[in-house]
Structures are given as structure tokens and as C-alpha cells.
Structure 1
Amino acid sequence: MDREPKLLEADEVGPAAVVNHKAADKLRAGHLWVYRTDVEELIPALGAVAMPAGGLITLMDARRIPFGSAIYSEASVIAARKVSAEPKIHRGEYLEDVVTRVRAALALRTPMLTDGSTDSVRLIFSEADDLPGIVADRYRNLVVLQLLTQGTAQDDMREVLARELAVEGVDVIVERPDPRIRELEKLPAPPAEPLFVREGHAGPAKTEFTLNGLKLGFDANAGQKTGAFLDQRMNYAAAAAYAHGEALDICTYQGGFALHMARVCTHVTGVDASRSALETAEQNLERNRAQMKAEVEWVEADAFELLRAYDAEKRQFDTIVLDPPAFAKTKRAAEGAMRGYKEMNLRALRMLRPGGTLITCSCSHHVSREEFTATVAEAAADSGRHVRMLETRGAALDHPEVLTLPETAYLKCLILRVD
């Protein structure tokens, strides 16, 4: 006979959040987030008058049956991120779990660096590694860390991560916050100094790293997010396998897709609205000049304006890559994002020569793979072209998806043949 779940007393759970029926069902199904609108009651610890910002709380349903523990944010739309199936009151227990999970994350990535063609990888991917609010990227000898929640952006967490991530070959660990998330989470400024510097190592937080055999520059104090887009690594290689002839790379940023295609194409045009990104792309081109088969040019322009102009001029290409930034920053912005994706893809489809290849991407986690694919299909229908799907891809293997957390399946990449 099954035993009834144990109802815990207040002194056994510490501070707690009672969630509504919808959130309870999602937690039972394996989801890891609780939105503030789904919290019915906040219960401070005995003797306390408020919930602890960034502290551990117990998640419970209306019957006071616990789902486990979570880190709490007093500011974010996501009020709680589950970190354990067991109620935990003491932060020391949580930090012990962090150590175990960081080591497991590093062990998962080690085989990805063995063939010599790549020395950079995402070491920790937040919920995908059971480490909510923590992201760490390695660029050869430099690790860039992001602490994204009130529960992780704390000095004891920095100490643990600096110790565990200082593996062989890592010389510097720096923390670089996401400005928007820092504002939303009401996080203090991170330490200005590196969290770790190996003895004998000096110099700024810059390095040169290798991705799919290409040498690329990285500066931890410049660029977007933690720097280069490691999540596209395997899609870069796939694009190069299909690319041919004259290629156009829209939203090239620092030249990721463009430089991979330039090893096989005859001419590549990389387009971006950021002059500084294109300057870095040019530096990356010079680093790899000996590998380049194509003539490469960079164009500073708005992606939509340039596509409209090229479409009006009836410009033609053999390969087009669309890799725009996230159009949908919120769920409410998803409808507008779909219109943007459709316009961009429709113009690209019209500009491809028969037998051409379209590599089209979306990194909006508020837009599902099914929604994005349907939007591209609408563009294909409107274009009047015969379009076949060759591959449906996601992020590289160092960015695994959690099946019960759809938000981790944020990157979509479709490879299409257009006749």
C-alpha cells in the first residue's frame, strides 16, 4: 500500500511558498520554475517577518505537501527555481550539491574537447546541469561566469565556483553579469577583479580560442552575453557542409557562420548593424586567412532594410544564413516576433537561386520549435518556391535541453533546400 506523503511542520521546512494547482501540476511533471503569479502564499521562517532574498525555500502545494527546495527571488518574475527534490534549510547543503553538480557538468564536457579542433565549450548551462542561475563558458584558458539570480550571485557561491572551475588549462576566471537580468533581479555589481588568476599569469581578460579549427579572438570585457556564440558551434559546421557558391550571412555578429562558409564558398557577405562586431569579424578573418577560399566582405546595415533592398534589386545567392538576435524577449512579444521571422525568411527564400540553401535560426525561447517551423513554412508557401527540410537542429551538445523545461530548447536551426 502506498504511504501518504509526509506533511512537514514549519520548523522542518523553513521559509516556504505555497503554489497554486497549475504550478503544482507543472512541478509534478518535472518543470523547475515557479512564476510569481502562481504563488498563493509565502510563509517566512519561524520568527522571521519576510522571505529571504536569494535564500532557500520549500515548495508546497495547497495541502502543504512539499515538492522540494528552491532558491527564492524577491524581484524576478520567476519567484523560485527548484534546486532539489528534498527540502533543504541550510545553504551549506545546497553548496555541497553545487560542488557535485559542477563536477558532473565538467565531466560531461571533457570528451567534447578531445579532438583538438575545439578548445572552448559551455561548462555549465543553468537548469540543464541542475544549477539554476549559473552559466559558465570556457574560451581556451579563460572562463566567463554569469550568476543570474539572487540565490547564486553571492560570495560563497563565487568561492565554490572559482575553486571548482579552476581546472587544468584555465588561467583566469571572471564574472560578467547580464545587464538586463542584473537589473531585473536587483543584483549588486559583481567583483571588478577576476575570481581566479593562476600564479604567473598576467594580462587583460582576452584570449584566442579555437572553434571547429578556426582561430577566434575573445575579449571578456566586450561583445554580447559571455562573448562568442558557442551554442551555434555544430550549426556552424553543418552550414559549411551545405554551403556553396555565393553566400549571405545576415546578423553575422563576429563572423561565425560567414567564416565557416568562407572555407568552401566563392564569395561571402557578412551583414551586421554593429560596427564593433564587424571589426572583430575582420580580425577573425585575418587570423584564418590561409583557410579562406572565398572573398569575404562585411556590410554594416540593418538586417531588414538590407534584405528589402536586396529583394527589390533581385539580388541572388546560393546560400543564405539568417541568425538574428531574439525577437521575442517576452511571451507578449512573440506575435510580433513571428511577423519579423516571416518577413526575413520570405525575402531570403525569394533571393535564393534554384538549388540554394537556407540556414535559418531563432534563439527566442518564447517561440517554440513548432511555431518557428510553421512560420518558415508560411514564408515558403508565400514565396511560391519548392522548399524541402534537410535538417532540424538545436544548440550544440554542451547546451543540453531539459525535456521537462521547454525553455531550455531555445535555439532552433532549420536547414532547407530551395528549388
Structure 2
Amino acid sequence: MEQAAVILKKGEGRTLKAGGAWIFDNEIDKVEGTPEDGSLVEVRDFDGYGMGTGFYNSRSKIRVRMMSRKAGQPIDRDFLRMRVQNAWDYRKKTVDTSSCRIIFGEADFLPGLVVDKFSDVLVVQSLALGIDRMKEEILSLLVEVLRADGVEIRGIYERSDAKVREQEGLPRQKGFIGAEFPTRVQIVENGVRYEVDVEDGQKTGFFLDQKYNRLAIQRLCRDARVLDCFTHTGSFALNAGIAGASSVLGVDASQLAVDQARINAELNGLSDRVQFQCADVFDLLPELERQGEQFDVVILDPPAFAKSRASVKNATRGYRDINLRGMKLVRDGGYLATCSCSHFMTYELFTQTIAQAARSAHVRLRQVEYRTQAPDHPILWAADESYYLKFYIFQVCREK
């Protein structure tokens, strides 16, 4: 049976032609044939020029997610093996692979699929209909590729429980793929031990994207008094502690996260110097300010305040407020590490928001460095959605 085809409108597909991975519904002139949702379709420009092959879904505004830029490319087992092998080879060159993200969706040319490796366990998140149908074949190939490199995987857990699946007409689901295994996994990152809860932790269980940003704050934290806000399971706090901080306070609104952070502190023998408190950061910071508290290092790692374009205005106020409060708690000459993990909070807007907070706090900022997500979360140029993490380190200087 001849493969169905999607024909672009004249003048559309600019993002695709620049290297992007998505085709939106309003870019399409017509569909030739009757493709089933989740099936592969050819993509052609208005003049019939072949632009590759992708997954079709009439239920999604992202109508086509590209799998190949080569016209007529068969999307078969050999093709998928090539994609998986390339993803693993890239990680071996760029990151510590003991725990890392092996597949990062569109940036690894496997749209809608995320696979994280925590020691000898894989956690998969499938967010698009087409790739969902191929996920088990891709995972079997990944296990084969890793085994050929001497890396054995003892279990796979699925965390496809994100709400965004509903936009693809998919149910939210989680559970074992294959044999069951204990879902609390110990990993080591930057010399810090963690217990990762792959079943009930946030997203896939642990945020690997901040790996080298956590390492970057270590040198600032020796003999320092540190405040880690939105600590989750304690990752920045523990990096500060293992680097020799004199005291660390980690704060999170989730008691579950705080309990896990305390377990992680015990794993590293840091319970005497690294303490955790369950509190709303927006309430706690003004209280600490009223008490006259000052810290050598303040770390702000909030959740994504901006989860859609419509929420950016309110999110901007949240980022401005939290940075203003954080700056006021940094002693003169101390350091602020601050970040945003929202794709919709652009680099330009985030930078502008921090500058506004600094003016309101009457401090001057000296930029130490700007960083982004770890290399195992590669940024694919022209696929803006792959660039989401912005991370600054500043020295905070009082106006004199």
C-alpha cells in the first residue's frame, strides 16, 4: 500500500527547513491518502519535493513529528538501531554514562521519546503516539547496544504518566516493561550518592540535566553557609555539603522530597551539616530576611513556573520575586546560583527578569558564568523546545 503524504502550504515549513522536527496543523495544505493516527507519512513541500518521513497524528496540533529528513528512508529495525547506537555513542563522548539521559526525543531524532539510565536501570517516558508504538522495539535495541558495550541492564520502568500524553490521544501510564525489580536505585553523581525512586519520583525519578551545574557550585561552597531553595531530593544541597560547606539548609514544599533528601544526606554521611526543611520557599524567604539571616551561597532551582506561553506573564513575576528575595539573603560578596527550567521562559526574558530583581534589591551582579543543560540533553538548533534550562552564577555586590 502506498504511504500517505502530507503536503505543505507554499511558504510554510520554515522551521522544518531550518532543521526543526515538527510540522504544525496550520502549515499543511492537504493530506494525500488516509493515514492512521500514529502511522508514518511522507512529507513533501508544496512543489512535491520530498522532505522526509514522520509520524502523523490528526489529534495533535503537532501534526507530524519527523523521523528522517531523507525522502524514501525506510523506518525499520536497522534504522532504529542506527538512531539508538548514535545516541549512545554521543553520550560516551560527552558525559559520565554511569547515569545519564541516553535518548532525548527530537534532539536524538527519536521524537517524543525519553530514556534515562540510572546505574543499571532504564526509565522510559513516551510522549507521542507514533513513537509509543515503537518504544518496546527501541528499548530492546538499546539493551542490545548497551550489552555489546559491556553494560548490562537489569530492568526497565515506564513513566509515561505526563499529562501531555492526553494531547496525543494517549492514556497516562506507568509500570514495569518486562520483569519487576526494586524501584529504588542507588546512583553516584559528582561523588554524591543518591537513592532514586523511579516509580514515584518526579518525572523519571531524578533531574539529570543539572549534573554539571551542581558540580559548578561545589567550588563556591567550601566553608560556606548555603541555602538551597526548591531542593527536591537534595541534589544541590548535597553537592554543597560534599564540597565542604560549613552548613546547608535545603528547602522544599514536598514532604516526600524532603524525606528522600534526608535519606540521601545519610547515604553521604552529611546529616550533621546538611539539614532539610519542608516549607513554601515564597513564604520562608521573607521570614529569613526579617530574621536578618545571610548566606554565603543561595541556590534557586524552582520548578517550571511557565508551562505554557499563556503563563509566561505570571511566571515572570514569580521568577522576579524569588530572585529578589534570594539576592537579599546573600551576604555582600557572596554568590547566587539561579535557574529556569522552562522552555517558554526564554534566555532573554530570564536575563531581563534577573536584572529587574537586582535593581529592586539594590545589588550589583558580577556574572561568574552562564550554563545550560548537561550535554546528554543536547540542544538541537532550530528545535527550540530542546533548549530549556538556563543557569546563572553571580557574585552579589551591595551598593556602597
TM-score, L = length of structure 2: 0.91
2:84–2:141 contact (8 Å) kept in structure 1: no
1:140–1:169 contact (8 Å) kept in structure 2: no
Q: CA deviation at 1:418?
A: 0.5
Q: CA deviation at 1:23?
A: 3.7
AA aligned to 1:106 is W
Q: CA deviation at 1:324?
A: 0.6
Instruction: Between 57-66 and 323-332, report the one with greater CA deviation.
Output: 57-66
Q: CA deviation at 1:20?
A: 3.7
Q: 2:45 aligns with which of 55, 61, 69?
A: 61
Partner of residue 16, structure 2: 27
In the alignment, the residues of structure 2 paired with residue 408 and residue 205 of structure 1 have an alpha-carbon distance, to the nearest angstrom, of 28
- CA distances 1:44-97 after superposition (whole Å, capped 9, x unpaired): x2xx4xx3111112223333333221112232332211111123486xx24432
AA aligned to 1:35 is F
Partner of residue 392, structure 1: 370
Q: Aligned residues, how many?
A: 390
AA aligned to 1:360 is T
User: Structure 1: which 5+ runs fail to align?
Assistant: 1-10
Q: CA deviation at 1:260?
A: 0.4
Q: CA deviation at 1:308?
A: 2.5
Partner of residue 383, structure 2: 405
Q: 1:251 aligns with which of 203, 207, 230?
A: 230
In the alignment, the residues of structure 2 paired with residue 413 and residue 189 of structure 1 have an alpha-carbon distance, to the nearest angstrom, of 31
Partner of residue 241, structure 2: 262
Q: 1:362 to 1:163 in 2, by over 3 A?
A: same
In the alignment, the residues of structure 2 paired with residue 344 and residue 225 of structure 1 have an alpha-carbon distance, to the nearest angstrom, of 23
2:190–2:215 contact (8 Å) kept in structure 1: yes
1:95–1:157 contact (8 Å) kept in structure 2: no
1:59–1:66 contact (8 Å) kept in structure 2: yes
Partner of residue 295, structure 1: 273
Partner of residue 162, structure 2: 179
Q: CA deviation at 1:159?
A: 2.5
Q: CA deviation at 1:191?
A: 7.4
Superposition RMSD on alpha carbons, in Å?
2.1
In the alignment, the residues of structure 2 paired with residue 21 and residue 332 of structure 1 have an alpha-carbon distance, to the nearest angstrom, of 29
Q: CA deviation at 1:209?
A: 0.8
Alignment of 1:105 onto 2:83: no
Q: 2:198 aligns with which of 216, 220, 245?
A: 220
Q: 1:134 to 1:342 in 2, by over 3 A?
A: same
In the alignment, the residues of structure 1 paired with residue 209 and residue 327 of structure 2 have an alpha-carbon distance, to the nearest angstrom, of 25
Partner of residue 207, structure 1: 185
1:88–1:94 contact (8 Å) kept in structure 2: no
- CA distances 1:329-377 after superposition (whole Å, capped 9, x unpaired): 1112112211111111111111110111100010001121122112111
Q: 2:251 aligns with which of 271, 283, 286?
A: 271
- CA distances 1:103-128 after superposition (whole Å, capped 9, x unpaired): 111112224566xxx72111111111
Q: 1:415 aligns with which of 390, 393, 399?
A: 393
In the alignment, the residues of structure 2 paired with residue 120 and residue 177 of structure 1 have an alpha-carbon distance, to the nearest angstrom, of 20
Partner of residue 74, structure 1: 58
Instruction: Between 63-72 and 260-269, report the one with greater CA deviation.
Output: 63-72
1:139–1:209 contact (8 Å) kept in structure 2: yes
In the alignment, the residues of structure 2 paired with residue 157 and residue 348 of structure 1 have an alpha-carbon distance, to the nearest angstrom, of 42
Alignment of 1:321 onto 2:299: yes
Q: 2:266 aligns with which of 275, 283, 286?
A: 286
SS in 1 for 2:275: strand
SS in 2 for 1:83: strand
Partner of residue 5, structure 1: none
AA aligned to 1:42 is V
AA aligned to 1:255 is G
TM-score, L = length of structure 1: 0.87
Q: 1:133 to 1:240 in 2, by over 3 A?
A: same
In the alignment, the residues of structure 1 paired with residue 380 and residue 73 of structure 2 have an alpha-carbon distance, to the nearest angstrom, of 26
Instruction: Between 390-399 and 308-317, report the one with greater CA deviation.
Output: 308-317
Alignment of 1:241 onto 2:219: yes
- CA distances 1:166-212 after superposition (whole Å, capped 9, x unpaired): 522311122220321222222246574423x5xxxx73233211111
Q: 1:282 to 1:113 in 2, by over 3 A?
A: same
Q: 1:40 to 1:140 in 2, by over 3 A?
A: same
SS in 2 for 1:151: helix
In the alignment, the residues of structure 1 paired with residue 120 and residue 323 of structure 2 have an alpha-carbon distance, to the nearest angstrom, of 38
Q: 1:85 to 1:163 in 2, by over 3 A?
A: closer
Alignment of 1:16 onto 2:2: no
Partner of residue 310, structure 1: 288
Instruction: Between 333-342 and 293-302, report the one with greater CA deviation.
Output: 293-302
